[in-house]
Structure 1
Amino acid sequence: NIVPIRRGCGSWECGCGKPHSVPFQVEGKCGGVRVVIIPGPRGLGLIASEVAKVILGLAGIKDCWTRSYGSTRTVPSFAYAVFDALKKTYSLITPMDWVR
């Protein structure tokens, strides 16, 4: 699946405006797994599990925190929950999109 992913600088600790993180906190869910991706400041890196690091790295996200809840040992559900969170970056319309 090819899905557009919104990137930005959503951390209050950073104000660079470059697309290195997610623009706001997003949450994805699959089965009994829930993943929350929180924007991080520039230079933080990916604070996530190995599965989430691979998916976030392929999406172009360089800096973020993640929190996971539920049975995260089921790798397919965990991976899809991260993917679902990234898909939800376009479910919210930001004021920058009002111009388009």
Structure 2
Amino acid sequence: MMVHKGLLSKETAEEIFNIESVYLDRGNVIPCYRVAEMFGDWIKEYARTRLKDGNDCNAWGDCHERPMIYYLSKSGFMKVVAERNYLLMANEIKEKGISGELVE
């Protein structure tokens, strides 16, 4: 598993997805616990509240006999990366005491 710091480009995010994804259900996915290991536990709440079930995230398993494994599709993973980039930039703006707006 690769742990990443700093902002990620689309190309780097796609490379991470291609390396870290596994086949499950109908395509390649990344288990949410693996994404949390890479980027932090905040992604669990983000996935529950901001991603679309079925398209961005889903689960595999049986609540009674087998553990449920929640996972992100590529679209969900890319949305997590975009949110992570936003949070990193927002933190940088706050730390530097600057505006994120365009300046003239």
TM-score, normalized by the shorter chain, greater than 0.5:
no
Question: TM-score normalized by structure 1?
Answer: 0.37
Counting helix residues as a fraction of each chain, which structure ranks higher?
2
Structure with the larger RCO, 1 or 2 (CA within 8 Å, 6+ apart): 1
- Please tell me whether Structure 1 or Structure 2 has the larger radius of gyration of its CA atoms: 2
Question: TM-score normalized by structure 2?
Answer: 0.36
